[in-house]
Chains A and B, each alone.
Chain A
Amino acid sequence: MRVNFVLSEVATGLRRNLTMTVAMILTTAISLGLMGTGLLIAGMISDMKEIYYDKVQVSIFLADDVTDEQRAAIDQQLSGSPEVANHIYESKDEAYARFQQQFSQQPELVQNTPPDALPESFRVELVNPERYSVIAAEFPNGQNGVDQVRDEGDFLDRLFSLLNGARNATIAVAVVQALAALLLISNTIQLAAFNRRNETNIMRLVGASRWYTQLPFILEAALAGLIGALLAIGGLVVTKILFVDKTLAGPIRAGIIPPVDWGAIAFISPVIAAAGVGLAAVAAYVTLRLYVRI
C-alpha cells in the first residue's frame, strides 16, 4: 500500500471539512473526557470503600459523665453479643489524636478544639452490618452512660450512593455525547466521501481494492478520534493538577478522599485512546458500508 498516497488523502480530507472535523474532534474529546472522569470516580469509589467500610460500622459515643462501671458494662455487653464481630475502645485522648491527624491541614480548627471536646467511644464491627438497629436497641441513647449510637454504615451508604450517582450521571452524559460524536463522525465521513466522489468513482472503475478506497476515510475518522482522545487525556491531567490536587488537597492528605494518582490516569489513558480510535474507525466503516457506494 502506498503510504504517501493514503496519508495525503487523509490530510486533504481533514482540511477540506475543517469545521466538521473540529466539531467531530471536540465532541469526541468531551465524550471521552467524561468517560475518563467516570472511570476515575469509579476507581475512587472502590478505593474509598476500602478505606471506610473496613473500619467501624457502628459508633457508640459515651456521655461525658459516664462512670467506670457503666463503661465496663458496655464493654462486657459488646463482648457477649453474638451480633458483634469486633469492638475497640477509643478514649478521649485517642479521639483527639485521630482528630489532629485528620485535620492536620486545618491547624486553626485543631487549635480551637479543646482536647476533651471529643467524646470517648466504642467502635463496633458487626457480624452483619445490616443489623444496626439491634445494637441501637440494646444501647438506648442517653441511658447507662451512652450518649448516642450512630450507624456509620448508613452514612457511608448515603455517601456512596451520592458518589455512585455522580459516576452514573457522568457516564450517562458521556454516552449521550458519544452518540453525538458518532453521528458527527458518520456525517463527516459522508461529506468527505461526497467531496471525493470523483476520485472514488474512478478508483472503483480502475479496480482499486475496497480497502484502498476506504482506508483514507477510516484513517481520517481514526485520526480525529485519536486527537479527541489526546485532548480528553490532556483535560484529565489539567483537572487533576488544577482541581483535584489543589482544591481537594486537605481532605486527600487527611485520608478522607483517596488521591487521584498518576497511575490511575496512566491506566485509563490507553483505554480512552483505544475507545476514541476504535469507535471512530468503526463508525466510519459502518457509514461507508451503509451509505456510500465505493
Chain B
Amino acid sequence: MIELQHVTKLYPASSRPALEDVSTEIDKGEFVFLIGSSGSGKSTFLRLLLKEDDPTKGNVIVNGKTLNTMSKWQVPKLRRTIGCVFQDFRLLRNRTVAQNVAFALEVINKPQRTIKRVVPEVLEMVGLEGKANRLPSELSGGEQQRVAIARAFVNRPLVLLADEPTGNLDPETSEGIMLLLERINRTGTTVVMATHDYHIVDSMRRRVIELNGGVLTRDQSRGVYGVGR
C-alpha cells in the first residue's frame, strides 16, 4: 500500500537531511502512528506520500504507483485516493459544515446526485447529523476536526493521513477523534497518523514508526510512545 525505499529528503535551505535513508512498508488496512519530536521528519514523511515534495533519493510507492516517476497531471488522481487531516482543521470559514464536505466532491467533479446522497451519510458517521448547516465558527474544536475528517473521508480514500489531528484538542475530545479514526480504519482504510500525544499512542497499542532527526529509529507493532521517555 505504502512503501519507502531508502528515502532521503534534503531541503535546499538546510544542510541536515529532513529524512535520511528511510525504508518502511505499510500494508493495506494498517493503523500506524508516526512519532518523533518536532523537526524529526514526520511532516516531510507525509508530504512525500502526497507528492507535495519529491524525495532527493530513493523511491516512494503509494497504492502501487511510484511517485518519483509520476507525471504532474497524474498527481490529482493520486490525491483522490488519499485523505488528509491537519492539526488546524483547514475548513473554509464562509461555508457551512455540509458545504465544506461537499466542496471536496464538487471540485473533483462528482455528480450533484452523489454529493446529495453521501454528504449526509458521512456527516452522520462522524456524529455531526443536525449540524450540517452550521458554520465552522459555531462549532467546538472537536466538531471542527470531525468536519475535516468527514471531508477527508467522503470520497472513500484508500489512505488517510493525519498530521497531529489531536494537537489542538483536549484529551477527552481527542479520544472521540481517535475512536472515529479507528472506525474509519475498520472500513479498510489505511491510517497514518503523526502525533506527539503519548496518551493516545500508549492506549491504542498500534504499530509505531519513530523518526529521530530524519532517521527511522524504531518500527514496532503494538508499540508505545517511548521507552525511556
B92 near A198 with CB under 8 A, answer: yes
Which B residues are in CB contact (< 8 Å) with A212? 107-109
| Majority secondary structure, A binding face | helix
Cα(A1)–Cα(B80), bound, Å: 17
Within 8 A of B (CB), among A192-212: 198-199, 201-210, 212
Which B residues are in CB contact (< 8 Å) with A201? 90
Q: Does A246 contact B (CB under 8 A)?
A: no
A203 near B90 with CB under 8 A, answer: no
Q: Does A262 contact B (CB under 8 A)?
A: no
Cα(A208)–Cα(B104), bound, Å: 8
Q: Does B77 contact A (CB under 8 A)?
A: yes
Which B residues are in CB contact (< 8 Å) with A206? 79-80, 84, 104, 107-108, 151, 155
Which A residues are in CB contact (< 8 Å) with B73? 209-210
User: Contact flags (1/0) for A195-237 with B, using CB distance below 8 Å?
Assistant: 0001101111111111011000000000000000000000000
Within 8 A of B (CB), among A147-200: 198-199
Which A residues are in CB contact (< 8 Å) with B151? 202, 206
Q: Of A1, A2, A204, which contacts B79 at CB under 8 A?
A: A204
User: Contact flags (1/0) for A238-252 with B, using CB distance below 8 Å?
Assistant: 000000000000000
Closest A residue, CB atoms, query B105:
A206
Q: Does A5 contact B (CB under 8 A)?
A: yes
Q: Of A199, A207, A210, which contacts B80 at CB under 8 A?
A: A207
Q: Of A202, A203, A205, A207, which contacts B77 at CB under 8 A?
A: A207
Minimum CB–CB distance for B136 against chain A, Å: 11
B106 near A207 with CB under 8 A, answer: no
B108 near A208 with CB under 8 A, answer: yes
User: Contact flags (1/0) for B62-78 with A, using CB distance below 8 Å?
Assistant: 00000000001101111
B107 near A198 with CB under 8 A, answer: no
Cα(A198)–Cα(B107), bound, Å: 14
The listed residue with most A CB atoms (<10 A of its CB), out of B76, B90, B106, B107, is: B107
Cα(A5)–Cα(B80), bound, Å: 19
Q: Of A1, A203, A205, which contacts B84 at CB under 8 A?
A: A205
Cα(A1)–Cα(B72), bound, Å: 20
Which A residues are in CB contact (< 8 Å) with B92? 198-199, 202
Which 10 residue pairs are nearest across A and B when measured between Cβ atoms? A207-B79, A207-B80, A208-B107, A207-B76, A206-B104, A203-B107, A209-B76, A205-B84, A5-B106, A208-B108
A–B complex contacts, Cβ < 8 Å, 18 sampled: A2-B106, A5-B106, A199-B103, A202-B90, A202-B107, A205-B50, A205-B79, A206-B107, A206-B108, A206-B155, A207-B79, A207-B108, A208-B76, A209-B73, A209-B76, A210-B73, A212-B107, A213-B107
